[in-house]
Structure 1
Amino acid sequence: MTNTTTPEHPSADSSLEHTAADRSSGGGPQSRRRRAQVLAVLCAMQLMIILDGTVVTVALPTIQGDLGFSQAGLAWVMNSYLIAFAGLLLLSGRLGDLIGSKRVFVAGLGVFTLASLICGVATSAEVLIAGRFLQGVGGALASAVILGLIVGLYPEPGEQARAMGVYGFTSAGGASIGLILGGVITQTVGWHWSFLINIPIGLAALVLAVRLLSPERGIGLGKGADLIGAALVTAGLSLGVYTIVQTAEPTAELLRTLVLAVVTLAFLGGFVLRQARATHPLLSLHIFRRRQVTAANLVVILLFAAGFGFQFMTALYVQRVLGFDSLQTGLAFLPAPLTGAVMSLFIGPRLTVRFGSRTILVAGLATLLVALLVMNQAPVGGSYVVNVAPALLLIGAGTGVGIPAAIMLAMSGADAADAGLASGLNNTAQQAGAAVGTAVLATLAASQTATRLGEGAAEVGALRDGYSAAFLAAAGFVAAAILLTGTLLRPAKS
């Protein structure tokens, strides 16, 4: 999806050509410094995207009071973002091929920064929801091309493992950092600054992206603009997320949900048929003939769904069950990013080189599974030290090694000619897994809580039961990922 130097993409990103030239000449300090700067810009955007999803989680109770959201309406602060983000990912990745990854990344960064300003100055629920939807659009545009650009910058296995470690920490640790930052900001200067803090970061990243990313032409809209396929997949993914999240609404009806589900499947089925027949498909289906690519991306979806669901549900548990305020909630998550940083930046790459990506992935998934089962047992009168902190240490360690290993397995299963396609597919799997997984688990928790309240349970107990059900479902995701890894993924070639 993002550009790569292949026969199918003759006008590939010139930054990849520079990288190849640098390798052939040994790659001097200036080249390494420039690549490190580009990696920092790409990860900064990824961090903003991840932060914004989790910063808002801590601020939700305050936002509800200030803007007058109903309990059902409050969910749309998250849902409006998820619908736009998940729906536009695949199209955004293809646009990277057609008009150039740099253009798509810069456009997404600009839209995301503008949307953050709209959210930050919002004085009504409607404006905030609109701003969040626009943030989802910008986030999808930028994030869809990030992974392909990183792979192009660091094609050598050792360097790529380290770069993926940085990217993995940004994705996994960023969620916990967002909860910490969100707590501090909400408690000290107000929830508006959860969005406004993106403005200086976004502007600085925008300037650096324009300066550091090499220009590229892309293959041209006329050579691959499958507008029908784009419309089908965007409609299918967006409607799919909406179908999931609307089930938590008090007005949700079974018949309506079933109709929405059928229409969603019709859109996605139409997209598959379109890709099989289109001259220039949005997603070439031949990539799925490679078992490792398909299996690894399924694992990535399950891993990100469980990992980000854990962050979201744990934040709600410590706030609404244990009674932590926003600042305490943020600080409570400190063990996760610290452990994740050590594992993904220092220990994980060395273990991967020694034992292989597949073995490390299984170890990471097993650690994540234990963390989810620990939180599943957290009681109403639980203790942070006994019930939460150990799970946070485990989640940091598990995702710190598991995410980079899963990404490398997904990329290693494709030929060089399909590197761009594999990059776009993998990034879509990551972001869609996080978005759809969070929606599924949040909806399940809300449904279980409503059921328990209807049975006469106390509110705190009903909330705890809802979160417990979500943790158990997330553990099921991880168990399925372990099964897929053990049965379908071949050991990565050294």
Structure 2
Amino acid sequence: MTTPDATDTTDAADPAALTKTTDPTAGPRSRDPAAAPAGVASAPRLWPVLLASYIGQFLVVLDVSVVNVALPSMRDDLALSGSALQWVVNGYALTFAGFLLLGGRLSDLFGPKRVYLTGLGLFAAASLAGGLAQSDAVLITARAAQGVGAAFLAPVTLSLLTRALPEGAARTRAIAAWTAVGAAGGATGGLIGGVLTDLASWRWVLLINVPIGLAVGAVVLVWLREQRRDTDRPALDLPGAVLVTGGVGAVAYGITETESAGWTSASALLPLLAGLAALAGFVAVEARSAQPLLPLRLFRIRAVAVGNVVTLVSMVGAFALWYFLTLYMQTVLGYSAIRTGLAFLPHTAALIIASQFAPRLSARFGSRTMTVVGGLLTGAGFLWQAAAMDADGTFVSAILGPALPMAAGQAILLALLTDVSTSGVGERDAGGVSGLVNTSRQIGAVLGLAILGAVASAGHGAPEDGYARAFLAAGIITAASMLLVPFLPRPGRRTRPHAGSAAA
């Protein structure tokens, strides 16, 4: 977040107001590499940016959670084994994590519109293949392909906003809305999946992406203007792409293996070590490459470096909200899939409302202060949830009460961290940094599943006791991550793009 200029009164919820700002997607008027993005958008030009960004983000996050409810029906219909069922989930998660940095950089090299349409097309085609699958191999392959499409799509949904809006209050509000839309996708995934599975078939959990993808793709193809690019476009850093994709994917796989096999098992340690070695090789390649996939100079921008570290650590705890609360409602309280989805509606409402207030609170009290407030509020909600988990818990006492501080705090925390983690970056690196932010989120979530899953399964007692331990650990981790916030730069020091990251 930056301290907004006194004249900046635009509102991200009002496209007409947002179009008063500069819109780099409309095409720069100057070829000067050091010049600020130019090209004033006309009134109808910003709405496709907002639509593409928000709906793309909703689809990507939705497909992380919407499939979970349909897993039993998939198992029965296709006679899936336990390991195959696990790979229906992990296939998407691993390719999504592995290809995020590549997807972000591709948008810088080839333009956000091309990469958006490529990612959306692959996502929709894989959804169609998965929805029509007649075997576990086809279904798992389709889910992995979905993850690749989502990894190309997700960074562009964020970089579209950072390209179209200069740093300031309007951009902070737009990113807050982007955060709320993503959170809503995760929160409503169970409800949407339950309704589609019960009223139609598990196949529609995947097939529904096809008409939505076609509609959004048509809007982007017709209305979203691609940024004009110089003819001397940099070449893709293929060695760096292979190393970082394989490294992140291997690390994510190793972490997922720890949940069932433990941290000292060969099935977890070997991919973890191989992934870390590949990432070390990636850093070495990037340091020597004339056209790196992820320029290491970006980590000299304190907002980017510290912001991504805080994002990764805080996401370890944030994962508890959706995963363990879903298990508690269905396993302990006996809620159906649809009732569980409905029970998450207060969380969704709190996320959306709090995310809209986050920019105003940041402008009044300071971004670092409100980031800490969001983190501590989230941690307090986790601790309340841990104390409220009881076999005889009611909706009001065990779900609604803790929901408000948990969801509201998380909305404030993630919205402001996303804004700060993408600040001080020029246009030519917007996609790469957006990929980095999404990678930090995804790796944090994978770590959260492994660490909190181990905490929940340790010891004895009823299932709710394990879930309570997971929420307790999540509260401690989230609160501890706030100790890093003072290392973020003050807002007044982040108002201009980094000199080495000037717009191309």
Instruction: Kindly indicate whether the alpha-carbon contact (under 8 Å) linking 2:307 and 2:420 is maintained by their aligned counterparts in 1.
Output: yes
* CA deviation after TM superposition for structure 1 residue 405, in Å: 1.2
Instruction: Kindly indicate whether the alpha-carbon contact (under 8 Å) linking 1:186 and 1:326 is maintained by their aligned counterparts in 2.
Output: no
Name which of 45, 61, 65 aligns with 1:54. Answer: 65
* CA deviation after TM superposition for structure 1 residue 268, in Å: 0.6
- Going from structure 1 to structure 2, the CA distance change for 1:272 and 1:472 (only over 3 Å counts) comes to farther
* CA deviation after TM superposition for structure 1 residue 432, in Å: 2.4
SS of the residue aligned with 1:312? helix
Moved more, 293-302 or 180-189: 180-189
* CA deviation after TM superposition for structure 1 residue 445, in Å: 5.2
Q: Which amino acid letter does the alignment assign opposite residue 365 of structure 1?
A: G
Aligned counterpart, 1:274: 285
Aligned counterpart, 1:367: 377
- Going from structure 1 to structure 2, the CA distance change for 1:451 and 1:384 (only over 3 Å counts) comes to same
Partners of 2:154 and 2:457 in 1: CA distance: 35
Aligned counterpart, 2:433: 425
Partners of 2:75 and 2:393 in 1: CA distance: 26
Aligned counterpart, 1:477: 477
Partners of 1:380 and 1:92 in 2: CA distance: 44
Partners of 1:236 and 1:128 in 2: CA distance: 25
Aligned counterpart, 1:17: 28
Matched, 1:341 2:352: yes
Partners of 2:65 and 2:103 in 1: CA distance: 23
1:16-71 residue CA offsets vs partner (Å, 9 max, x unmatched): 53896654xxx6xxx23320232112211110111111111232333333333334
Give unpaired runs (5+ residues) of structure 2. Answer: 1-22, 30-35, 496-504
Q: Which amino acid letter does the alignment assign opposite residue 475 of structure 1?
A: G
Aligned counterpart, 2:255: 244
Moved more, 163-172 or 376-385: 376-385
SS of the residue aligned with 1:61? helix
Partners of 1:290 and 1:117 in 2: CA distance: 41
Moved more, 219-228 or 275-284: 219-228
* CA deviation after TM superposition for structure 1 residue 237, in Å: 0.4
Instruction: Kindly indicate whether the alpha-carbon contact (under 8 Å) linking 1:336 and 1:392 is maintained by their aligned counterparts in 2.
Output: yes
Aligned counterpart, 2:467: 467
Aligned counterpart, 1:332: 343
**Greater fraction helix:** 1
- Going from structure 1 to structure 2, the CA distance change for 1:435 and 1:490 (only over 3 Å counts) comes to closer
Matched, 1:291 2:302: yes
Moved more, 392-401 or 301-310: 301-310
SS of the residue aligned with 2:259? coil
Aligned counterpart, 1:438: 445
Aligned counterpart, 2:147: 136
Instruction: Kindly indicate whether the alpha-carbon contact (under 8 Å) linking 1:236 and 1:265 is maintained by their aligned counterparts in 2.
Output: yes
Instruction: Kindly indicate whether the alpha-carbon contact (under 8 Å) linking 2:108 and 2:430 is maintained by their aligned counterparts in 1.
Output: no
- Going from structure 1 to structure 2, the CA distance change for 1:168 and 1:250 (only over 3 Å counts) comes to closer
- Going from structure 1 to structure 2, the CA distance change for 1:191 and 1:434 (only over 3 Å counts) comes to farther
Partners of 1:147 and 1:108 in 2: CA distance: 14
* CA deviation after TM superposition for structure 1 residue 465, in Å: 4.3
- Going from structure 1 to structure 2, the CA distance change for 1:192 and 1:130 (only over 3 Å counts) comes to same
Q: Give the fraction of aligned pairs with identical amino acids, expressed as a percent.
A: 35
Partners of 1:251 and 1:352 in 2: CA distance: 41
Name which of 395, 401, 420 aligns with 1:390. Answer: 401
Partners of 1:449 and 1:428 in 2: CA distance: 29
Name which of 386, 389, 394 aligns with 1:376. Answer: 386
Aligned counterpart, 2:361: 351
Q: How many residues align?
A: 464
1:160-309 to structure 2, matched below 5 A, reads 160-216=171-227, 218=229, 223-249=234-260, 254-309=265-320
SS of the residue aligned with 1:224? coil
Aligned counterpart, 1:157: 168
* CA deviation after TM superposition for structure 1 residue 116, in Å: 1.2
Q: Which amino acid letter does the alignment assign opposite residue 117 of structure 2?
A: V
Q: Which amino acid letter does the alignment assign opposite residue 78 of structure 1?
A: V
What is the TM-score with the length of structure 1 in the denominator?
0.86
- Going from structure 1 to structure 2, the CA distance change for 1:226 and 1:161 (only over 3 Å counts) comes to same
SS of the residue aligned with 1:237? helix
Partners of 1:252 and 1:290 in 2: CA distance: 33
Q: Which amino acid letter does the alignment assign opposite residue 436 of structure 2?
A: T
Aligned counterpart, 2:16: none
Q: Which amino acid letter does the alignment assign opposite residue 478 of structure 1?
A: T
- Going from structure 1 to structure 2, the CA distance change for 1:422 and 1:98 (only over 3 Å counts) comes to closer
Name which of 26, 45, 52 aligns with 1:34. Answer: 45
Partners of 1:105 and 1:243 in 2: CA distance: 29
Instruction: Kindly indicate whether the alpha-carbon contact (under 8 Å) linking 1:46 and 1:171 is maintained by their aligned counterparts in 2.
Output: yes
Partners of 2:378 and 2:484 in 1: CA distance: 15
Instruction: Kindly indicate whether the alpha-carbon contact (under 8 Å) linking 1:357 and 1:408 is maintained by their aligned counterparts in 2.
Output: no
Instruction: Kindly indicate whether the alpha-carbon contact (under 8 Å) linking 1:145 and 1:424 is maintained by their aligned counterparts in 2.
Output: no
- Going from structure 1 to structure 2, the CA distance change for 1:208 and 1:449 (only over 3 Å counts) comes to same
Name which of 123, 128, 131 aligns with 1:120. Answer: 131
Partners of 1:331 and 1:14 in 2: CA distance: 38
Partners of 1:339 and 1:240 in 2: CA distance: 33
